[in-house]
Amino acid sequence: MRNLNIITLLLIIIGGVNWLLVGLFQFDLVAAIFGGQNALLARIVYVLVGLSALWQIGPFSRSLKTGEVAAERHR
């Protein structure tokens, strides 16, 4: 489960950086790497980023219930 959380967080970070580039420079890095927005590989990346965001709703809601984020507990 921990590995899945790390992978999904990494994908969310990739998606966030991609949206930053789109917002600032109108440059879609995922599309540029994988051959355009409609290319199969780019669409797979977009879907994986979206599914990762949905997956992370669970850990996020659990952290709200406990009153602290798990990463903060280890300090």
For residue 28, which phi and psi values (nearest 5 degrees)? -95, 100
pLDDT band at residue 62 using 50, 70 and 90 as cut-offs: confident
CB-based contact 42:32 (threshold 8 Å): no
- pLDDT, mean of residues 17-45: 97
CA dist 23 → 2, 27, 35, 65, 71 (Å)? 31, 8, 20, 33, 29
The rounded percent of the chain whose pLDDT value lies above 90 is: 73
pTM > 0.85: yes or no: no
Tokens for 66, please give them.
């406990």
Greater pLDDT, 39 or 2: 39
Q: How many domains does the chain have?
A: 1
- Full domain range(s) for residue 46: 2-73
Q: Which among 55, 54, 73 has a CA at the least distance from the CA of 63?
A: 73
